[in-house]
Amino acid sequence: MSEEKVVRLGAKKNKAKETKHEEEQKQELVYCSFCGRPNTQVIKMIEGPGVNICSECTMIEYHVLKLSRY
């Protein structure tokens, strides 16, 4: 089971045939805009327009928002 570590928002999924350029982009390092970790050191990375966030920063933010409600 192959699962991508980088989730690109707004990108279309095309599992048919990938070009060489698309394969190179998958190997490219993507850094979290908040903590600076590369996608090789985190579970998942979400890439948006001009900003990236890793799964660890997402969980930290979730807990901050949850605690601020009380």
Residue 37: both structure tokens together: 């970790």
Cβ atoms within 10 Å, residue 30? 20
Q: Give yes or no for a contact between 30 and 47, defined as CB atoms under 8 angstroms apart.
A: yes
pLDDT in tens, 18-65: 565 555 555 689 999 999 999 999 999 999 999 999 999 999 999 999
Look up the pTM and report it: 0.64
12 pLDDT exceeds 90? no
| The pLDDT of residue 28 | 83
- Cα(9)–Cα(61) distance, integer angstroms: 19
- 66 secondary structure, DSSP code: H
Enumerate the domain spans of the chain.
Answer: 1-9+26-70
